[in-house]
């Protein structure tokens, strides 16, 4: 993944299986400043998924997939309706659609 400019990228779409997935990624200084993942899925425990998102703040975008997988495993999050690979794909698409302020 190439360096990204400061700005916000968004993916909103249906993944295989028909579930809606929304991902917003904010970049600052070449790092992932914030990520928000929502859609037609359930994460249990819910508060642990919030910690997963928080763990991704400030990371190098090139490490997103690995760090997302690690955070989901570390927090013991079970996700119903979408897979981590779907989230990674949504992140890559959001990153390709950055809106620069």
Cα separation, 69 vs 100, whole angstroms: 28
Task: State pLDDT tens for residues 37-55.
Answer: 999 999 999 999 999 999 9
The verdict on residue 2 lying in a domain is no
pLDDT in tens, 2-13: 566 788 999 999
Range of the domain at 51: 7-95
Domain count, the chain: 1
- Is the residue at 32 inside a domain? yes
Q: What is the pTM of this model?
A: 0.90
The pLDDT of 17-21, averaged and rounded, is 92
pLDDT band at 96 (very low <50, low <70, confident <90, very high): confident
CA 65/CA 44 separation, integer angstroms: 20
Which of these ranges, 1-5, 12-16, 97-101, has the smallest mean pLDDT?
1-5
């Amino acid at each position: 993944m190439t360096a990204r400019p400061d700005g916000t990228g968004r993916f909103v779409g249906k993944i295989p299986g028909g579930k809606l997935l929304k991902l917003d990624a904010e970049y600052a200084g070449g790092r992932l400043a914030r990520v928000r993942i929502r859609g037609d899925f359930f994460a249990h425990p819910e508060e642990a998924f919030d910690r997963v998102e928080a763990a991704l703040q400030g990371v190098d975008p090139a490490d997103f997939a690995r760090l997302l997988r690690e955070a989901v495993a570390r927090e013991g999050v079970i996700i119903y309706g979408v897979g981590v690979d779907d989230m990674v794909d949504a992140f890559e698409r959001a990153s390709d659609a950055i809106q620069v302020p």
